[in-house]
């Protein structure tokens, strides 16, 4: 704010209204610590109001400058009080903010501690996961090798089974062939046996006939020559013949 000494001088018409400004300055609220200045201003204003008509132009300008200084100081004091109030309010607000900041710092510290613990747990879990993955890879590799061996074994056994099935089929075919041959041979033997039986029966009959003839001949040979033979025996002998 520019000081009143550097202001342009007012005209005579304006100077007629300046006594009222002293009354306005007196109505302004002064702080308790400025009571002495206020008393001095009041005494100066009373002197100005009583002898103002007898002063010249320079004195009036000086009085106006003093009035401006008083107004400026009053305004400065009021502004100072307002700034003090704002400073007090701001200090309280800053103190509250500092408390909030401390609380936030505590919360941040706790959160950072929790984050560190979580990071530690995460690292341990990642290590466990890596170990499990490594075990899984090893187990998968082992199982793959075993599966390959089992596939090879199964393929070998399948080939053996196919060979056995082929041998079995060949054996069955050979067996059926031999059974057919045996059946044909049995048929031939049965036919030959029937022929042999027929020949045997014929030979037996012939043997029986020859035996009877031999017996009859032997009977005749036992009879003495020239002897008389009973008619019955002769007749029986003729019948057998």
pLDDT tens readout for residues 2-22:
344 333 444 433 434 444 443
pLDDT at position 64 is 87
Q: How many helices (H) and strands (E) does the chain have?
A: 5, 0
What pLDDT, on the 0 to 100 scale, is given for residue 231? 45
Q: What is the largest CA-CA distance in the chain?
A: 241
User: Left (φ > 0), alpha (ψ -120 to 50) or beta: where does 126 sit?
Assistant: alpha
- For residue 32, pLDDT over 80 is answered with no
In this prediction, residue 126 has a pLDDT band, given cuts at 50, 70 and 90, of very high
Comparing CA positions, the residue from 208, 231, 204, 224 lying closest to residue 239 is: 231
Write down the pLDDT at residue 154: 93
Provide the pLDDT confidence category of residue 225 given band limits of 50, 70 and 90. Answer: low
Mean pLDDT, residues 152-156 taken together? 92
Whether residue 91 is predicted with pLDDT greater than 60 in this model: the reply is: yes
Nearest C-alpha neighbor of 208 from the set 166, 231, 184, 240: 240
The mean pLDDT of 112-119, rounded to a whole number, is 92
Higher pLDDT, 27 or 179: 179
- Please give the residue that has the higher pLDDT: either 234 or 104: 104
Task: Say yes or no to pLDDT of 228 above 60.
Answer: no
The answer to whether 47 and 59 have CB atoms below 8 angstroms apart is no
Query: Is the CB of residue 219 less than 8 Å from the CB of residue 233?
Result: no
Q: Is the pLDDT of residue 102 over 50?
A: yes
55-64, 106-115, 173-182: least confident range: 55-64
CA distance 117 to 193: 107
Q: What is the pLDDT of residue 54?
A: 58
What's the confidence (pLDDT) of residue 61? 85
pLDDT digits (tens, 9 = 90+) for 157-172: 999 999 999 999 999 9
What average pLDDT does the structure give for the chain?
77
CB 215 within 8 A of CB 236: no
């Amino acid at each position: 704010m520019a000081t009143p000494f550097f202001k342009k001088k007012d005209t005579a018409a304006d100077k007629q209204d300046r006594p009222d400004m002293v009354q306005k300055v007196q109505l302004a609220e002064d702080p308790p610590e400025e009571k002495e200045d206020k008393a001095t201003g009041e005494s100066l204003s009373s002197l100005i109001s009583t002898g103002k008509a007898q002063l010249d132009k320079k004195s009036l300008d000086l009085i106006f400058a003093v009035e401006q200084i008083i107004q400026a100081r009053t305004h400065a004091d009021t502004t100072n009080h307002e700034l003090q109030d704002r400073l007090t309010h701001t200090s309280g607000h800053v103190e509250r903010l500092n408390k909030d900041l401390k609380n936030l710092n505590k919360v941040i510290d706790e959160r950072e501690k929790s984050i560190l613990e979580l990071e530690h747990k995460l690292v341990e879990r990642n290590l466990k996961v890596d170990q499990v993955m490594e075990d899984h890879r090893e187990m998968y590799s082992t199982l793959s090798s075993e599966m390959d061996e089992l596939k090879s074994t199964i393929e070998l056994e399948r080939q053996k089974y196919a060979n056995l099935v082929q041998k079995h089929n060949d054996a069955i075919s050979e067996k059926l062939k031999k059974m057919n041959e045996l059946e044909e041979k049995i048929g031939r033997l049965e036919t030959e046996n029937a022929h042999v039986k027929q020949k045997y029966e014929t030979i037996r009959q012939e043997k029986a006939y020859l035996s009877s003839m031999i017996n009859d001949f032997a009977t005749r040979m036992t009879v003495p020559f020239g002897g008389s033979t009973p008619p019955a025996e002769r007749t029986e002998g003729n019948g057998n013949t």
